[in-house]
Amino acid sequence: MYCLKRFLLKFTKASTRPLELLAVTMLLMFLTTSAVNSQERSNAQSSKHLGVASCATSTCHGSTVPFAESNVLQNEFRTWNEQDPHARAYQTLLSRESKSIARKLGLASAETAEVCLGCHADNVPTEEHGEEFELSDGVSCEACHGGAENYVQSHTNATHKENLDTGLRETENPTVRAELCVSCHIGNDSDRKITHTIMGAGHPRLSFELNTFSSIQPAHYQVDDDYINRKGPHNELQIWAIGQLVASEQLLTNIKEFPRSGLFPELVHMDCLGCHQPMSKVDWAPNPLTNLSAGSLRYNDAHLIMSYQLAKTVSPSLANEILSNTQAFLNNGVSPNDTDKLASKLLQNIQLVRSALERAPLSQDQGTAILNALISNGLSASHQGYASAEQSAMAINSVLRAISSSTANSDNKQTLLTGVETMFEGVKDPERYRADVFVLGLRKIQTSLVR
Ligand code: HEC
Ligand code: HEC
Ligand code: HEC
Ligand code: HEC
């Protein structure tokens, strides 16, 4: 289990970035997929969060080994506790790094600051704390699955639908999952707000792709026939696509709601490497997709560009609107009124694509078309900068995995894998983005797909 070793290595060495793992994940996870029916969203009512201790007894989710007889693994607690970084999210707030961030922000301490707890713990209001609730559980079971007060007694005998009605979050639904993960991994405009001031104090840059992050979160569940019977089909292509759209929607909402600092937009919405790079790096080139002139302030458009690439397959007319509104939005990025109007238009465009996808999930053929669009975009726009290349790499890997059954034959598989590894090599280090290596990887992938 090479993969497992890499996971463990990763979680003992906090500085390792997820990208290094992806090529390996890719090798091991060639899955065949089918379509997902979008389901009703759960309207989880507010119910008490009971705490990890109440999920973790040995006959419930705290077994040391998976239960053969059960339809869920029952060792979820062990996986989460031993391998999942979410279990240590609160402990992170006690680290030297966090102390330094808190000091620079003038906070009494990171572990008591709402601004940190919002994402590093299950920070629900005190009246929703059950008896065994502990903030120090970090990003706990109920932070993702919803407060258990009303489903804890019944959920082992109830149907999945009944569980959803009593407060279990529908985390298998791509939209519901995306909204959940993105609220912390991109941040929102209310209780999970991240700013350039927090980054300036030393917080790591956030980057996210739903399907990639879903696969590198140590799995405490198994997608097998029984799972699909209970929860419906599992479609990684759809998870990737919905993830891009929801991320774009969240970013467009954030940029409207965040306060500006005087003349300036909130810099957390910009491409970090657009500013933080040596002046001697003079490699600007025209980009037909964004139409930005040299020296422009760069919005972090990575999710928008991915959304455009997938929209071309879902609805060419909507895609054209997304492109023209994106260009207008990026080029008006310093004028507050126009920015707000354009952000609203784009938000509507993206929501329409998402509704279309929820009605008719992506097929394998559409996946192939999207893959080709992503590769040509990467090849022609590799000079767009690091954030775009990084997002493209995760996207290409995710889409390849989702449609692997219909791509490269076995002769070409080695070229494909080398291509994927090379592509990730190019974006391994944000401070040393190697566009040439990224492009070389893309060309290898392209070659492997020609039969
Ligand atoms: C309540 C906030 C919150 C939610 C919700 C959340 N995460 Fe996280 N996630 C975090 C924090 C905080 C960390 C960093 C933990 C640490 O190292 O202290 C993290 C870390 C991770 C990592 C490890 C990243 C790395 O660099 O090693 C992955 C993978 C991940 N999350 C995936 C997901 C997925 C998938 C979802 C949705 C199903 C999700 N997260 C939902 C807050 C959250
Ligand atoms: C919008 C949600 C959000 C907020 C607000 C937030 N964090 Fe984080 N933080 C994250 C996520 C997500 C990660 C993991 C990033 C990754 O690896 O992709 C993280 C990672 C970190 C890390 C690095 C952990 C590691 O394992 O290397 C530190 C330290 C940290 N946060 C401290 C803080 C402190 C201190 C605050 C309050 C000032 C704070 N965070 C506020 C979401 C947030
Ligand atoms: C970062 C978010 C996150 C955290 C934290 C988390 N889970 Fe999950 N869990 C998921 C996702 C995503 C899935 C897969 C989608 C689904 O089936 O709902 C899942 C699936 C499950 C399943 C369903 C398995 C099946 O076959 O239907 C169980 C049971 C479960 N989790 C229990 C737990 C327990 C217990 C904990 C705490 C020890 C926990 N989870 C912590 C996100 C999370
Ligand atoms: C529009 C340009 C711009 C963008 C975009 C930008 N920053 Fe900054 N950043 C600055 C400036 C200006 C400073 C302050 C430099 C100083 O005080 O010397 C700064 C400071 C920082 C610092 C502190 C450096 C120090 O000297 O301690 C960090 C870390 C940082 N930014 C991270 C980020 C991250 C992460 C992003 C992306 C989310 C980002 N920045 C986006 C302009 C930018």
CA 437/CA 197 separation, integer angstroms: 33
**Cα of 223 from ligand 4 centre, angstroms:** 41
Residue nearest to atom 22 of ligand 4 (CA): 200
Ligand showing the shortest atom-to-Cα distance for residue 221? 3
94 lines ligand 2 (CB under 6 A): no
CA 19/CA 111 separation, integer angstroms: 28
pLDDT tens per residue, the chain (451 residues)? 222 223 222 322 333 344 544 544 443 343 222 222 333 333 445 789 999 998 888 778 988 888 777 888 888 999 999 999 999 999 999 999 999 999 999 999 999 999 999 999 999 999 999 999 999 999 999 999 999 999 888 888 888 999 999 999 999 999 999 999 999 999 999 999 999 999 999 999 999 999 999 999 999 999 999 999 999 999 999 999 999 999 999 999 998 777 676 667 789 999 999 899 888 888 888 888 888 888 888 889 999 999 999 999 999 999 999 999 999 998 876 566 788 889 999 999 999 999 999 999 999 999 999 999 999 999 987 667 899 999 999 999 999 999 876 665 667 888 999 999 999 999 999 989 999 999 999 999 999 987 6
DSSP label of 34: -
Residue nearest to atom 11 of ligand 2 (CA): 185
pLDDT of residue 223: 93
Buried b (16+ CB within 10 A) or exposed e, 191-223: ebbbbbebbebebeeebbbbbbbbbbbbebeee
299 lines ligand 3 (CB under 6 A): no
Ligand showing the shortest atom-to-Cα distance for residue 103? 2
Pocket test of ligand 4: the residue of 105, 198, 261, 267 to mutate, having most ligand atoms within 8 Å of its CB, is 267
Cα 350-216-221 angle, rounded to 5 deg? 95
| Nearest-10 crossing angle of helices 2-12, 19-28 | 160
pLDDT of residue 436: 92
85 lines ligand 1 (CB under 6 A): yes
With beta carbons less than 8 A apart as the criterion, state whether 444 and 422 touch: yes
pTM of the model: 0.92
H helix or E strand, kind and range, residue 87 = none
Q: Structural domain boundaries of the chain?
A: 2-41+171-449, 43-169
Buried b (16+ CB within 10 A) or exposed e, 258-292: beeeeeebbbbbbbbbbeebeeeeeeeeebebbeb
pLDDT digits (tens, 9 = 90+) for 170-191: 999 999 999 999 999 999 999 9
pLDDT of residue 239: 97
Residue nearest to atom 40 of ligand 2 (CA): 116
CA 80/CA 31 separation, integer angstroms: 23
With beta carbons less than 8 A apart as the criterion, state whether 386 and 430 touch: yes
CA 342/CA 348 separation, integer angstroms: 10
pLDDT of residue 98: 98
312: phi then psi, degrees, rounded to nearest 5: -55, -35
Residue nearest to atom 38 of ligand 4 (CA): 268
